Amino acid sequence: MSENCESVVSLFGRNVFNDVVMRERLPKNVYKEFKKTISEGRFLDTSLANVVANAMKDWAIEKGATHFCHWFQPMTGLTAEKHDSFISPTAEGQTIMEFSGKELTQGEPDASSFPSGGLRATFEARGYTAWDCTSPVFIKETGKTITLYIPCAFCSYNAEALDKKTPLLRSMDALNTQAVRVLKALGNTTVKTVNATLGPEQEYFLVDKKFVEKRLDLMLAGRTLFGAASPRGQEMSDHYFGALHERVASYMHDVNMELWKLGVSAKTQHNEVSPGQYELAPVFATVNVATDHNQLVMETLQKVALRNNMVCLLNEKPFAGVNGSGKHNNWSLVTDEGVNLLEPGNTPHDNMVFLVMLCSVLRAVDKYAKLLRAAVATAGNDHRLGAHEAPPAIVSIFLGDQLTDIIEQLAAGGAKSSKTGGQLKLGVSALPPLPKDSTDRNRTSPFAFTGNKFEFRMVGSSQSTAGPMFVLNTIVADVLKEIADELEKSSNVKATVQKILQKIVKDHSRVVFNGDNYTQEWAKEAEKRGLPNIKSTVESLKTIMDTENFELFKNHKVLTKAELKARTEILLDAYSMTLNIEAKTAVNMAQRQIIPAAVEYSSLLAKSIKNIEKVGAEAGSQKKTLEKVCRLINELDNNAEELGKAAIAASKIANSAKKAESYRDVVKPIMAKVRQAADGLETMVDAKIWPLPSYAEMLFIK
């Protein structure tokens, strides 16, 4: 092993209180009891928690930690943390370092300033954090502060979920319960648990910090609100998978090192389609741990970028005219025996478990397409979905040739065979024939089967994976419940399965689409098939409170009606607030930077015209330019004023849906007009006077 590899092996998970550390540090009986508690999903009792906490504290202190914190994921979509030191003063005026079981398992941060969507009044401040002991505790080094992090769920005084993690954990329970029932009914006598797995591919942009510092839009809104197109964009397709530039490669190295220490298995890295765009994918993990890890990935990408004098942009659409960023959520189901339930094997047609799981997903995704769409509805994602770089807002499933053929057979009465891939011959004698996959890929599909998992490709790059994943888990659990209910009372399981699958395929094959999702023809065809095409976030969020959805979440104990309603309010508010910030930033930049620069240029032109004419020469060109510049200044000035007023008017609307609609229908179109005038000016005004770094400068980081 090279020195480099060796160091990575010893580095990986160094800051995680993982299984190896626990086995080393906990008394044998405690370790066993603790593992059992985790695997059975029971509550940790106090005496056990005390021993575990003490071992954790010793480990953390040896690593230089002075503080611990409950780390949770409020509805902001980001993480939150409140640090406490281990110190405990003694009567003699000294201190000892203490950490109790209670401090480990439960915290009481003040909840009053987190979004609650009306779940509690501001004065009802108490909030609770509870350790999710299935996600390991870890140490994070931030500057000089070294802290023990405890991944937590966060709820109100009335046990209502105030975070993204609680419903995710609840949905995992629901999925586990129903999937195990189905497996048992299908004859599996040994299975104990089924977990959802997630591998999120994270896309991001890097921009040199010196440019970001000059752009209020990037600093405050995370995306450019102005900017004429660069003469060179992504049309040469030369960035995608291109050789990494040295500066970026070094950055990726630093990111990997940080993540590996935290036990995040960062695996794949490459250049993405747009110049300045990149991707990182970890090895998949159980969905709650993967969600925690994705938060660490986003945070680390940003933190390490700053150290390298760059800024990492996670926004879905940092630059107009080139691709935006998504977060492909690869999702599957795995048993405690390590069996991937979405693994088709060589003969999927007679793999009953696989077919049941596949058809369950088919029914769930079609039945709850609107809910799945709502799970990815954000202001940022509105710029991306359907914009020829990401799937449209129509939810459909790509199955590929082999599985499509099988479900067609199922519909006709039973699957008897599976198409195989054969071999790929490259026509070069030195290259061996490659085994060909039975199914091609489809990059345009919002929900694609990719070999042994589904890839939900509509998720936005800045989103927490918790929302989309708890929706997916719950809708699949719901269908599995229906199937388990039928199978458990059946006297002929095989025949019943046959009947169920046949019905599912007949009812839901409309959601299967293997063609190009980016085309207009598909939009028309989808409409004919009756598939919803919900284009805007506001419209989509309004569907969340449909009766079938709160029944769904209530039945599986994932969210109460009040919790669901609160979430909808929070999401609508987030939409409005995002647009409000963007509008105010655009007005500010237009009035304080762009117009003054254009005015300066126009007076230069005016002076030059005067001077030229004084000596009796023609200044036709300059006059034409001056007129155009003045017209655009006028336009920009009027539009900016209108935008400011529209944003204020929208912000005063009390009803959250109406408010969001006003931002969408009134504010957003004016913002587009403001941009158009400003971008027009950018193409004319002297580059030396123009106050903002251009797309051409920002996009080509080297």
Residues that bind ligand ADP (CB under 6 A): 197-199, 201, 268, 281-284, 330-332, 340, 450, 452-453
Q: 3-class DSSP state for residue 596?
A: helix
From 26-34, 195-203, 318-326, 342-350, give the range in contact with Mg ion by CB under 5 A: 195-203
Query: In terms of CB distance, is 296 or 559 closer to ligand ADP?
Result: 296
User: From CA 351, how far away is CA 359, in angstroms rounded?
Assistant: 12
Query: In terms of CB distance, is 293 or 370 closer to ligand ADP?
Result: 293
Q: CB under 5 to 8 A by kind: which of Mg ion, ligand ADP, none does 132 bind?
A: none
User: From CA 567, how far away is CA 86, in angstroms rounded?
Assistant: 35
Q: Which of 354, 342, 319 is nearest to 232 (CA)?
A: 319
How many whole angstroms from its chain centre is CA 2?
Answer: 36
Helices (H), 489-619: 493-508, 520-529, 537-542, 547-555, 561-589, 595-614
User: From CA 175, how far away is CA 477, in angstroms rounded?
Assistant: 5
For 25-126, list the strands marked E by DSSP: 67-72, 80-85, 87-89, 95-97, 106-107
Query: In terms of CB distance, is 22 or 364 closer to ligand ADP?
Result: 364
Q: CB under 5 to 8 A by kind: which of Mg ion, ligand ADP, none does 452 bind?
A: ligand ADP
Query: In terms of CB distance, is 281 or 583 closer to Mg ion?
Result: 281
Query: Minimum distance between the CB of residue 71 and ligand ADP, rounded to whole angstroms?
Result: 23
From 201-209, 251-259, 304-312, 565-573, give the range in contact with Mg ion by CB under 5 A: 201-209
Query: Minimum distance between the CB of residue 545 and ligand ADP, rounded to whole angstroms?
Result: 30
Query: Minimum distance between the CB of residue 348 and ligand ADP, rounded to whole angstroms?
Result: 16
Q: CB under 5 to 8 A by kind: which of Mg ion, ligand ADP, none does 639 bind?
A: none
User: From CA 660, how far away is CA 572, in angstroms rounded?
Assistant: 6
Q: CB under 5 to 8 A by kind: which of Mg ion, ligand ADP, none does 284 bind?
A: ligand ADP
Query: In terms of CB distance, is 156 or 234 closer to ligand ADP?
Result: 234
From 200-208, 474-482, 492-500, 620-628, give the range in contact with Mg ion by CB under 5 A: 200-208
Cβ-proximal residue to Mg ion, closest one: 201
Query: Minimum distance between the CB of residue 203 and Mg ion, rounded to whole angstroms?
Result: 9
Query: In terms of CB distance, is 157 or 241 closer to ligand ADP?
Result: 241
Handedness of CA 404, 405, 410, 413 (dihedral sign): positive
From 197-205, 226-234, 502-510, 576-584, give the range in contact with Mg ion by CB under 5 A: 197-205
Q: Which of 138, 10, 1, 164 is nearest to 78 (CA)?
A: 164
Query: Minimum distance between the CB of residue 201 and ligand ADP, rounded to whole angstroms?
Result: 5
Binding residue (CB under 5 A) for Mg ion from 163, 201, 299, 389: 201
Q: CB under 5 to 8 A by kind: which of ligand ADP, Mg ion, none does 71 bind?
A: none
Six token digits for residue 483: 């199937």
Label each residue of 273-331 as H, E or C: CCCCEEEEEECCEEHHHHHHHHHHHHHHHHHHHHHCCEEEECCCCCCCCCCCCEEEEEE
Query: Minimum distance between the CB of residue 398 and ligand ADP, rounded to whole angstroms?
Result: 12
690 within 8 A of 682, measured Cβ to Cβ: yes
Amino acid residing at 406:
I
User: From CA 593, how far away is CA 574, in angstroms rounded?
Assistant: 27
Q: Which residues contact 43 (CB under 8 A, 6 or more apart)?
A: 37
Q: Which residues pair with 163 in a beta bridge?
A: 74
Q: CB under 5 to 8 A by kind: which of ligand ADP, Mg ion, none does 467 bind?
A: none
Query: In terms of CB distance, is 282 or 318 closer to ligand ADP?
Result: 282
Query: In terms of CB distance, is 201 or 563 closer to ligand ADP?
Result: 201
Query: Minimum distance between the CB of residue 451 and ligand ADP, rounded to whole angstroms?
Result: 8
Amino acid residing at 574:
A
Cβ-proximal residue to ligand ADP, closest one: 199
Query: Minimum distance between the CB of residue 369 and ligand ADP, rounded to whole angstroms?
Result: 21
Note whether 539 binds Mg ion by CB under 5 A: no
User: From CA 526, how far away is CA 14, in angstroms rounded?
Assistant: 50
Label each residue of 44-86 as H, E or C: CCHHHHHHHHHHHHHHHHHCCCCEEEEEECECCCCCEEEEEEC
Query: Minimum distance between the CB of residue 197 and ligand ADP, rounded to whole angstroms?
Result: 4
117 within 8 A of 569, measured Cβ to Cβ: yes
User: From CA 548, how far away is CA 471, in angstroms rounded?
Assistant: 13
Amino acid residing at 99:
F
Query: In terms of CB distance, is 281 or 406 closer to ligand ADP?
Result: 281
Query: In terms of CB distance, is 276 or 693 closer to Mg ion?
Result: 276
Q: Is 426 exposed, middle or buried (0-12, 13-18, 19+ CB in 10 A)?
A: exposed
Query: In terms of CB distance, is 328 or 556 closer to ligand ADP?
Result: 328
How many amino acids of this chain bind Mg ion (CB under 5 A)?
A: 1
From 173-181, 194-202, 565-573, 686-694, give the range in contact with Mg ion by CB under 5 A: 194-202
Q: Which of 657, 650, 694 is nearest to 319 (CA)?
A: 694
Six token digits for residue 463: 């989103």
Query: Minimum distance between the CB of residue 200 and ligand ADP, rounded to whole angstroms?
Result: 7
Q: CB under 5 to 8 A by kind: which of Mg ion, ligand ADP, none does 283 bind?
A: ligand ADP
Query: Minimum distance between the CB of residue 271 and ligand ADP, rounded to whole angstroms?
Result: 13
Supply φ then ψ for residue 302, to 5 degrees: -75, -45
Half-sphere exposure of 570 (CA within 13 A, CB side): 23
Query: Minimum distance between the CB of residue 475 and ligand ADP, rounded to whole angstroms?
Result: 17
Query: In terms of CB distance, is 461 or 509 closer to Mg ion?
Result: 461
Q: How many other C-beta atoms can be found within 10 angstroms of the C-beta atom of residue 206?
A: 23
243 within 8 A of 696, measured Cβ to Cβ: no
Query: In terms of CB distance, is 301 or 538 closer to Mg ion?
Result: 301
Q: CB under 5 to 8 A by kind: which of Mg ion, ligand ADP, none does 282 bind?
A: ligand ADP
Q: CB under 5 to 8 A by kind: which of ligand ADP, Mg ion, none does 625 bind?
A: none
Where on the chain is the footprint of Mg ion (CB under 5 A)? 201
